[in-house]
Structure 1
C-alpha cells in the first residue's frame, strides 16, 4: 500500500523558534508513523540564514520534504495577500507533482490556500486553527475595531473562520473550551463538522530531570546568592502582549511578605528593564529579582531551581482557545504552577489534577488567599506532576491524535 501523502502548510517558518518547538516535532512523529510529509512554509530571511542548515538536517533525517517561500513583511495587508498568492501557487504546483491526499493547514492564512486546494482538487482539508485569529488581533490591541478598516478586516476574517470550519473535513482546536464555543455557534449547529482537541504539547524528553545540568544549576545559585533555604518563584518565557507582569509582581510582593527569603527568577530573553521599573514602583528590592537569558537546552536546569512557577495571562475571549506550552514544560520538570482562570482549559486541568494554584481574580484579597495556599504545593510529588504532563501534554499523545484524524480521512 502506498504512503498517504500530506501537504502541511504553515505561515510560520520552520526556522522560527515556534517552528522548531511546535511544528517540526509533530511532523517528524507523523513521518515515523509512515506518512509522506511535505511542508510548505513562509520563512523570514534572517532566521532562514541563521538556522537553515540545522533545520534542513532534521528534515532530511526524517524523510520529510521541505518547500518554502520567503515571508513578506511590508506593506501591511498587501504583503499578506501577496504571500497567500505565493503559497497558493507553490501548493498547487506541489499537488500537481505529488497528488496529495490531505492538506493540513496551520492557522488561518494557510487555510486560505488549503480550502482552495480542496475546492479545486478534492483533497481532504484539515483546519488546524490554533486559536481565534481575528479575536486575538482585537484582544491584543493589534486591530482597533473603532477604525473602519480594521473593523472590516475583523468581520472578513470572522466570515472566513466560519467558512474554514464549515468546509474542513476536520478542525483541530487547542482546547475543549474553544471547541465548546464553536459548537454553540448557530452555523455549526446547522451543519456540524468533526473537531479534535490537540493541546500544545511539549518535548518531554528534553524537559526531564535527566537533562538537569548540575554544574549550571550550582553556578546560577552561587552567582545569584541562592541558598537552599530560599523560596524560588520562576517565570518562563517572553513578557509580551498577553502576560500580566504587574499582577505577577504583585503576587511576588505578597509572597515576599509571607516568605522573606523568596526570590523571583525570570527565565527570559526579553529586555528586563520593564520588569525592574515595575518592581521599583511597588517597592520590590532588586536583589530579590534574578534574570537569566537562556538557550533552550538550559531551560530545564533553570526551571529545576524553582519551588513553583507562575504565569498570569489576560483572560480575554480569544484566550479561551489558548494552550500555554510552558504549563506542560514546567509540570514535566516536577514543578507546580500558579496561574489564572479564564485561559483555555487551565481551570479544568488544575482542578482535576491538583497540580497547582489557579487564581480567579487579581484583587489583593484573592492574591493573599492564593499565597496562603502556597505551602500546600510542597506536598505534591514531582513524579506526580510529571506524570500529569505526560498524560495530557506529551508529544507522543499529540502525534497519536493527529494520526487518528488522518486515519479517519483516508
Structure 2
C-alpha cells in the first residue's frame, strides 16, 4: 500500500491508551510519551488515560500538558489512590470504567492499548462490549513479579486470592488479545509454550539515541565533571544507574566493587539513583540523583557499569532500560545471568559481559569502550520501537 494512503487511512482511527503508571512519573516520560508521540506523528489519534500521583502531577502536569499538545496527544489524567491497599485499586478501576465509557461514546475508538495487567481488565471488557481491538502490552509477568518480589504475601489469603485472580485473567488477556507485546525474547518463549497461537511481538524498552549519544559529549565537559566529582585522572569509575530495591542485587554490586578495588585501588563507585537514602557507602562512593538530560554526561565519565538483578521466573520478562542507555554511550556493562535477554545480548552486543558468578572479575583489559553497531540500533532505538508498534497498529486496522 502507498505510504501516504496508509497514513491517511490510519489518521481516521482513534486509539485509546490506558496506563496505571502516570505520565508525570519518570517512567511515563521516558517509556510512554516518546512512543506515543512517534505514533501520533504517523497519523494515529491517541487518547491517553493515566493515573497520576498528586505530588508528581502538581510538579509536572503543566510540562506534560504542553508536551501532549505539541504532539497532538489527548490526555485524560485520573487521580491515583494508594491506600487502603486493594480497595484503592478497585476504586480506581471503577473511575477508569466510567471514564473510558464516556470517551468511547465521544471518540469511537478502534484500538484499546493497555499497558500491563490492571488496565487490561478494562481493555478486555471494552473488547467484549464494543468489539474494540485489544492490545495487551503485558510488559512482564506482573502477578508473579508481585509475589516473587514480596509485594504480595502468598501466605495471606487475600493476596493469594488476588494472585489467583490475575493469573486467570492473564490467560484470558492472552487468549482474547488481538496483539500481545512483551519486552524480551525469553518472555515470548514462555508465553508461546502456553499456546503457540498467541499473537506475540517483542518490543524491548528503547533508548532515545538522540539524547544518549556519546558524540555529543565534549572532552572539556568530561574533564569539568570529573573535577566537580573530585575524581583524579587515574581514578577508575564503576557506574550503577537505576533504582535500588527489591530486584536489584545491591550487596552483590558492592561486593563486585570491592573486588574491583583489589585490582584497581583508585576505583570509585558512581551511583546514580533516585534512592539515595538507601545507599550506605564510604569515601569511595559518589551517590547522586541527577536530571534525565544530565545522565549521558555522567555515564561518559565512567569506565565500566554493573547491573545485577535477582534471577527469577518473572524477571525473564524484564528489559533494563538503564543498561541499554549505558551501552548506547559505549560504556561496557557487566551483568549476572538468569534474567531478561542478557544471555542473548552477550552473544550479539559489543560491551556486554555476563557473569555466572557476581563475585567474578575477568581481566579488566577485557573491557573496552565501543560505540554500538546497527544491530544495537535496530534492537533498542526509539525509532525502531515506534516502527514495531506502528506495524502492530497497522495489522489490527487492516
* TM exceeding 0.5: yes
Quick one: distance in 1 between partners of 2:211 and 2:242?
A: 16
User: What do residues 154-178 of structure 1 show as CA deviations (whole Å, max 9, x unaligned)?
Assistant: 1111001001111100000011101
**Unaligned ranges ≥5, structure 2:** 1-8
> Post-superposition shift, 1:90?
0.7
Quick one: distance in 2 between partners of 1:195 and 1:299?
A: 33
SS at match of 1:229: coil
Which residue pairs with 1:283 in the alignment? none
Does residue 113 in structure 1 map to residue 122 in structure 2?
Answer: yes
SS at match of 1:287: coil
Quick one: distance in 1 between partners of 2:198 and 2:225?
A: 51
Quick one: distance in 2 between partners of 1:3 and 1:303?
A: 43
Does residue 406 in structure 1 map to residue 396 in structure 2?
Answer: no
Contact 1:214 1:301 in 2 (8 A): no
Quick one: distance in 2 between partners of 1:372 and 1:72?
A: 47
User: What do residues 88-132 of structure 1 show as CA deviations (whole Å, max 9, x unaligned)?
Assistant: 111111111111110000011110111100100001000000111
Contact 1:331 1:386 in 2 (8 A): no
Quick one: distance in 1 between partners of 2:152 and 2:171?
A: 20
User: What do residues 234-293 of structure 1 show as CA deviations (whole Å, max 9, x unaligned)?
Assistant: 0111112111111111111111111122211111232246332xxxxxxxxx23222222
Q: How does 1:301-380 map to 2 (within 5 A)?
A: 301-362=297-358, 367-368=359-360, 371-378=361-368, 380=369
Which residue pairs with 1:132 in the alignment? 141
Which residue pairs with 2:290 in the alignment? 294
Which residue pairs with 1:391 in the alignment? 378
Which residue pairs with 1:40 in the alignment? 49
Contact 1:211 1:300 in 2 (8 A): no
SS at match of 2:38: helix
Q: How does 1:232-271 map to 2 (within 5 A)?
A: 232-271=237-276
Contact 2:276 2:289 in 1 (8 A): no
After TM superposition, the score normalised by the length of structure 2 is 0.94
Quick one: distance in 2 between partners of 1:119 and 1:161?
A: 16
Contact 1:231 1:306 in 2 (8 A): yes
> Post-superposition shift, 1:389?
3.4
> Post-superposition shift, 1:348?
0.7
User: What do residues 355-385 of structure 1 show as CA deviations (whole Å, max 9, x unaligned)?
Assistant: 22101233xxxx23xx22332112x5x22x3
Quick one: distance in 1 between partners of 2:229 and 2:113?
A: 47
Question: What root-mean-square deviation, in Å, do the aligned CA atoms of Structure 1 and Structure 2 show?
Answer: 1.6
Does residue 184 in structure 1 map to residue 180 in structure 2?
Answer: no
Quick one: distance in 1 between partners of 2:330 and 2:277?
A: 27
> Post-superposition shift, 1:352?
2.1
SS at match of 2:18: strand
Which residue pairs with 1:20 in the alignment? 29
Quick one: distance in 1 between partners of 2:93 and 2:357?
A: 41
Quick one: distance in 1 between partners of 2:62 and 2:101?
A: 26
Which residue pairs with 1:202 in the alignment? 207
Moved over 6 A (4+): none
Contact 2:276 2:288 in 1 (8 A): no
Quick one: distance in 2 between partners of 1:346 and 1:154?
A: 28
Aligned length: 388
